[in-house]
Amino acid sequence: MLGCLSTGVSGLSASNSDMSIIANNIANVNTPGYKARRAEFADLLSQQTGNMEIGTGVAISNVSSVSSQGPLTATSNIYDLAIDGAGFFVVKDDRGLFYTRAGQFHKDKEGKLVTPKGQVVQGWMLQEGGGMVGSPSDIVISNVSIPPKATEHVTMSVNLDSNTPLSAGAAFDPQDPSNTSSYSTSLSFFDSLGNRHDLTFYFRKQAENQWEWHAFEGGTSLEQSGTLSFTAEGVLDSTTPGTGKVTFGGQVINVDFGGSTQFAAASFTTALSQDGYEAGSLSRISITREGIIQGTFTNGYSKDIARIALADFNNPDGLVHMGNNLYQASAESGQPIINPPGAGGMGNIAAYSLENSNVDLAAEFVKMIVTQRAFQANARTITTADQLLAELVSLKR
Amino acid sequence: MNIGMYRAVAGCIVQQERLDAASMNMANSSTIGYKAIRLSLGFNNDVVQVDRKNIDFTEGGRQDTRNKLDLALDGDGFFVVQTSRGPAYTRKGNFSLNAQGELVTQEGMPVLGQNGPVKITGHDIHISADGTIRADGRRVDKLRLATFRRPYPFDTRSGSLFFPDPATGAQEEPAKGAVVQQGQIELSNVNLMKEMVRLIEISTSYESCQKVIQTVDEMDQKIINETNKM
């Protein structure tokens, strides 16, 4: 008789705990990265053995997380990151490492990528060359710049008009280059400090199928020259010196005239390139699906700055909830398995996005109704047991 | 003393046992894979008693969850889990993984495959209708799905985790008819409405037995008191 009273009470308390879990789910319907939780009920085994024994009620054996993907919503913050697939962001503070799927990050005053509570997001700072070295460390996005690079190679392809008449006697005059040559082309190059200079080449027809060039920096002659010889078909045959070379101060620039032609068409430039650049400061950040934080610099170049690390667990349900959307590893969850996004089964990163809570309001409301009814039913078994007891007691007046 | 009183007391005891079963069922109306307990009543020397306690193995309803480790079984069969008291059989398929990557119940008992506990490494877990488990496209194991000849030889100590009664000597057979549904759970098969009606029935039956006891008691008193006056 008293057994069924405690069975009813176990039902009441399990329904009550279930209701608090449902309430918590509903309260977190707008919390980014929140995973709905679920009470797992288990019936209580009778402690006595024998064929005629029945169980003694119900208990909540575990509260598990429903680890399905939450919907991604777009935001206007580049550092709002969502994981599309498995894995957790790794964040660190004085207390140690934590794991989260709520990617509401921002840059703090030191340029560190942090959570709203100031935990630093972990990843790999990418060295020159893009390798991931060692274990993950704090991601810092500050003092990132590209140093200038002096021009070492210039490639230049021109077509020099084969119908140009031979220059009548007059030699090339460095004081008056434009009137003593028939074609010129110029490009910018950079010295070791990143200063921009103009390099101009003047071409003058020396003989049939043979042209000479003179190099100028700005308006000043570098007093360096060479020749281009063409075959009868108009294709570049040979150059002197063998590899074109221009020196400017101490800087040596190799000039490659490969691809130049001498056809019967007005002179034109087909290709120009050089490999130097000026200093660049960070102008824009982008984050790829693979979690690589790339910087675009004022000089037009881009560079990989860091790569975000993700962690996964054999049993993510075993992670300990720490509040503030954070989880901590436990003996039950197993050791974190750290990988970059998109590798080793990890999900991809979506920038300008947040993973919404995966709470399904409709499902929670239905659960709420069922739980309320279960609570009432259990209360009723208790009142019935009470009635029976009252009858029993009233037997003896 | 009047035999009627003993019969009425037996009736009260039976109603108490029915209340125990009803309260157990109602407490477990939200327990996944729970099977309701039913009592069958009979007579022994014209006195009512509980002949047998049975488990009602009717299938419960289905609910879609989005959990890839939630499994429901369609048809005759059970998942086999390892317990300290040997293999146990269950239809409660809300499994999870433990720190070692083993498939376990919410109580931490390992779920058995073809060669002992199922161990899954990989992320994209797919479990087909016959219980074959694939992780990232690779075959990992196959769930051990078992059944017994009817009536099932299980004792009634639990309505969701079943132990075969060793006295019956029944042997497990492969469950050929069982179909695994991934992402679903089997709800408790307790029907709250029926249980509520049962509660009313228990209450009135108990009251009736009580009245019989009182009446017999009054009759006895009358006999004692009035014989005394003579």
Q: What is the pLDDT of residues B26-37, one digit of tens each?
A: 999 999 999 999
Q: Residue B1 above 60 pLDDT?
A: no
Residues of chain A found within 8 Å of residue B122, distances taken between Cβ atoms: 345
In this prediction, residue A1 carries a pLDDT of 57
Residues of chain B found within 8 Å of residue A387, distances taken between Cβ atoms: 203, 206
Are B171 and B210 found together in one domain?
A: no
Are B35 and B146 found together in one domain?
A: no
Q: What is the pLDDT of residues A332-367, one digit of tens each?
A: 888 999 999 998 889 999 999 999 999 999 999 999
Q: What is the pLDDT of residues B94-148, one digit of tens each?
A: 999 988 889 999 988 999 999 999 999 887 899 999 999 999 889 999 999 999 9
In order, the DSSP letters of A284-333 are EEEE-TT-EEEEEETTS-EEEEEEE-EEE-S-GGGSEEEETTEEE--TTT
Read off the pLDDT band of A397 (50, 70, 90).
Answer: low
In this prediction, residue A168 carries a pLDDT of 58
Are B66 and B155 found together in one domain?
A: yes
Which of A8, A55, A394 is the closest to B158 by Cβ? A55
Q: Residue A259 above 90 pLDDT?
A: no
Strand A251-256 relative to strand A153-159, pairing = parallel
Are B107 and B161 found together in one domain?
A: yes
Report the candidate in A42, A340, A365 with the shortest Cα–Cα distance to residue B24: A42
Read off the pLDDT band of A170 (50, 70, 90).
Answer: low
For residue A101, give how far its alpha carbon lies from the nearest alpha carbon of chain B (Å).
Answer: 17
Nearest CA in chain A to B202: A384
- Contact check, Cβ <8 Å, A51/B50: no
DSSP β-bridge partners for residue A235: A261
Are B80 and B177 found together in one domain?
A: yes
DSSP β-bridge partners for residue B47: B44
Are B75 and B139 found together in one domain?
A: yes
Are B177 and B194 found together in one domain?
A: no
**8 A C-beta contact, residue A4 and residue B23:** yes
Nearest CA in chain B to A86: B123
In this prediction, residue B130 carries a pLDDT of 93
Are B165 and B107 found together in one domain?
A: yes
Residues of chain B found within 8 Å of residue A67, distances taken between Cβ atoms: 67
Are B35 and B121 found together in one domain?
A: no
Strand A153-159 relative to strand A268-274, pairing = antiparallel
Which of B29, B101, B107 is the closest to A61 by Cβ? B107
Q: Residue range A219-241: average pLDDT?
A: 83
End-to-end CA distance of chain A: 21
In this prediction, residue A196 carries a pLDDT of 87
In this prediction, residue B12 carries a pLDDT of 92
Counted domains in chain B: 2
- Contact check, Cβ <8 Å, A61/B106: yes
Q: Residue range A162-168: average pLDDT?
A: 75
- Contact check, Cβ <8 Å, A58/B28: yes
In this prediction, residue B61 carries a pLDDT of 92
| Residue B136 structural domain | 62-186
- Mean pLDDT (chain A, rounded): 87
**8 A C-beta contact, residue B26 and residue B37:** no
Q: Residue range A300-313: average pLDDT?
A: 90
Are B124 and B25 found together in one domain?
A: no
- Contact check, Cβ <8 Å, B157/A49: yes
A319 to chain B, any CB pair closer than 8 A? The answer is no
Are B10 and B94 found together in one domain?
A: no
- Spell A218-243 as b/e; 16+ CB within 10 A means b: eeebbebbbbbebeeebebeebeeee
Q: Please give the Cα distance from B40 to B48 (Å, whole number).
A: 11
In this prediction, residue A54 carries a pLDDT of 79
Q: Residue A48 above 70 pLDDT?
A: no
- Residue positions counted in chain A: 397
Are B174 and B195 found together in one domain?
A: no
In this prediction, residue A239 carries a pLDDT of 80
DSSP β-bridge partners for residue B127: B133
Question: What is the model's pTM?
Answer: 0.72
Mutate: best of A381, A387, A394, A395, partner B, most B CBs <10 A: A381
- Contact check, Cβ <8 Å, A43/B124: no
DSSP β-bridge partners for residue A224: A215
Model ipTM over 0.90? no
* Among A residues 332-361, those touching chain B with beta carbons less than 8 Å apart: 332-334, 345, 358
Tokens matching residue A361: 């309001």
